[in-house]
Amino acid sequence: MHTTESSETFIHRVKVLNLPKHELASIKQFFKLHNLHKFKKAPMWEYAYLNFETAEEAKVALEKLNGKEFKKRLLSTEYAKVSEKQFRDRFKVNKTIEQEDTRTPAQRLADQVTPLHKLSYEEQVAKKRKAGVRHLRDLRKKLNALPDLSEEARAQISWTTSDNPDDACQILDPIQSPITHGYRTKCEFTIGKNIQGERTVGFLLGQYRDGVTAVLEPYDCLHVSDKAKEIVRAMERYVRNSEYDVYDKVAKTGVWRSIMTKTQETGDSMEKEITDELSDDQLEQEKEKIRAYWTQLKPEINTTTLMLQTWNGVSNGITDKGQTEILMGDGYVYEHLLGCRFRISSSAFFQVNTPATELLYSKCAEWCNISQDKKTTLLDLCCGTGTIGITMAKTVDRVIGIEMIPEAIVDARANAHMNNITNVQYYASKVEDKIDIVTNERNEQVVAVLDPPRAGVHPSVIRAVRESPQIKKVIYISCDAKQAMQNFIGLCRPTSNRAKGIPFRPVRAVSIDLFPHTEHCELMIEFIRID
């Protein structure tokens, strides 16, 4: 995004200050309301960058945002005109910083992708339990801090004033992952150049936005599976022998960009390679070479599905905007989970730690079964490919899955059919548009399970749950409780014009570690209606 002045190219940059950390979804919505659709912000930044082609566009943004209030914060803005050469020179500055870092490249990468690797596993789990306790404490504080609470409203959240947090919500001992090494079934690797300037496959040794371009092989990474490492070695050999160079994001030249792997417990393996665009003839020739290469590697690497995506955009990662073609297999890998079999497409979400996921879903099923004497309907909200509902279908009377991504619903129906599950219904719809399916529900119990993306669900989903009196219990599975906090507040806040329906309260919570050696952890909370 540039304009030319004399012979030099410039970026007109607006820095928006005093934004809250995280909150990416609400910040995106805030900018969108001001007709500003592209910005850069890391989760821990308290600022964001907006880049414009002209000074006039930047000036309009300055006028729109300076002095605006967001999340009770007064925003300020700064303008800078940066030459593209200066912008690119940050890569040179970063090389100096790298030279001053006394850690080995392997240590730097370990600190980046598995930041808890220096702690014992018991210490890691204890740390994650404390994080769960802290999030529940913050929920109580935020509810008590809501403005203009009436006496009746305060009575509805009286559970938040207990001196003993366990009186308000029982916090169970954390559930540890059965495996702590090589557990990731899905990885995305960058194809680039290592510190020695050789073509390689692995992880960036930092953030590209900070000027980092060097890639390090993942062979010492604790969370990457041996199968994925074998694929990386094979892909490295391929790109080093290729007539095409790796893609350079700075110069915007080259072909090989990245590779995604899915290596399942069943032994199935998927490779999805991402390349920059080639001519039609070059692409056809390369497809044949790739297909022949992975075929001759069997059975050492059991590639059951091989895909090639062409993409000429800025990002090197997997995108639904690229053109994808299946070169081998049916486009899926298959996985077993709690006695059920699931097909997984390249874009489908599936938990990356299968043994730990079985513990998570088993505990969820345990919490969903209120009474064996009463018929239960399970609402699998944001159901994706149907894993939760299908694994629990035999323990409840009826399952209703709702998911706004139509392709996921196609997978969910196929998975239900493959497992001979007949008591499920799936709807490709927004949750708030279809939740009324339980309005005339005849079963005595309706339990909703929410396992949304990292940022949580839109407030309209929470309002729809609140306004459905048939739903007496919600099991919320969050992989980032801080980002999901607004959802928790929405479920629990006192009844008002904004939050209709009887509020919920948390009664028990447990941390389930699906991601050893990292800061991430699943926090599952059981919410019930206040009597």
Would you list which residues are annotated within the binding site for S-adenosyl-L-methionine? 351, 403, 451
Q: Of 381, 531, 527, whose CA–CA distance to 449 is shortest?
A: 381
Residues in the chain, overall count: 531
Sign of torsion, CA 76 81 82 84?
A: positive
Is 499 within 8 Å of 490 (Cβ atoms)? Answer: yes
Residues with active-site annotation? 479
Three-class SS state of 39:
coil
Q: Provide the strand spans (E) within 53-157.
A: 69-70, 73-74, 76-83
Task: Report cis status (omega within 30 of 0) of the bond before 494.
Answer: no
CB count within 10 Å of CB 248 equals 12
Token code pair at residue 361:
């879903």
Extract long-range pairs of 162-169: CB within 8 Å, 24+ residues apart: 165/133, 165/136, 165/137, 165/140, 168/136, 168/140, 168/505, 168/506, 169/136, 169/505, 169/506, 169/507, 169/508, 169/509, 169/525
Angstrom distance (rounded) from CA 463 to CA 177 = 34
Angstrom distance (rounded) from CA 189 to CA 177 = 24
DSSP 172: P
Residue type at position 199: R
CB count within 10 Å of CB 442 equals 9
Is 311 within 8 Å of 348 (Cβ atoms)? Answer: no
Q: Of 435, 424, 431, whose CA–CA distance to 392 is shortest?
A: 424
Largest CA distance in the chain: 80
Q: What share of the chain is helix, strand, coil (3-state, %, to 5)?
A: 35, 25, 40
Q: Which helix (H) or strand (E) holds 31?
A: helix 24-33
Question: CA dihedral defined by 222, 224, 228, 233, rounded to 10 degrees?
Answer: -50
Q: Of 178, 23, 4, 163, whose CA–CA distance to 83 is shortest?
A: 4
State the residue for tokens 């094979």. 234
Q: Give the phi and the psi of residue 446 in degrees, each rounded to 5.
A: -125, 120
Surface-to-core class of residue 311, CB atoms within 10 Å of its CB (0-12 exposed, 13-18 middle, 19+ buried): buried
Residue 333 CA: distances (Å) to CA of 129, 267, 339, 345, 411: 33, 9, 16, 7, 12
Angstrom distance (rounded) from CA 329 to CA 12 = 47
- Indicate the pairing of strand 8-17 with strand 47-52: antiparallel
Q: Provide the strand spans (E) within 168-255.
A: 170-171, 186-193, 199-204, 215-216
